[in-house]
Chain A
Amino acid sequence: MHFIWAINVLFKRQIIMKFLSEYRDPVLAKQILEEITRTVTKPWKIMEVCGGQTHSLVKNGILSVLPKEITMVHGPGCPVCVTPLHLIDKAIHLAVKNGVILCSYGDMIRVPGSKKSLLEAKAQGADIRILYSPLEAVNIAKENPDKEVVFFAVGFETTAPANALSVLHAHKLGLTNYAILSSHVLVPPAIEAIMSDEETLIDGVLAAGHVCTIMGMKEYYPLAEKFKIPIVVTGFEPLDILQGILMTVKQLEEGRFEVENQYVRVVKETGNKNAKEVINEVFKVQDQFWRGIDVIPNSGWGIKEAFKDFDAEHKFPLDLVVAEENKECIAGMIMKGLKKPVECQHFGKKCNPQNPLGAPMVSSEGACAAYYNFAGV
Chain B
Amino acid sequence: MQTSSGRGETEAGMQPSWLPPRLLSQSIPKPRFDEAQRAWGLSIAVYLFLGGVGAGAFAIAIVLGWAGIALGPLPRVLPGGVEIDLSALLLFWGPLLVAGDAALLLLHLGRNKHLFVTAGRKPRTAWLSRGFAILICFICTGGLLLLLAALAPGWLSGSPAAWRFLEVAGLLAALATATYTGMLLHSMRQIPAWHTALLPPLFVVSALATGALALALTVWIAHSVGVEAAGAGRLLDATTVAAVALLTIEAVLVTAYVRAVRRAGRSGERSVLLLLGGTWRAPFWLGVIGLGIISPAVLLVAAPAVTSPAVALAAVSGLAGGFVLRLSVLGIGIKDSPPLLSLSTWRAEAVRWPLGGSPGLSPEARAQ
**A and B: partners?**
no
Chain A positions near chain B (C-beta within 8 angstroms): none
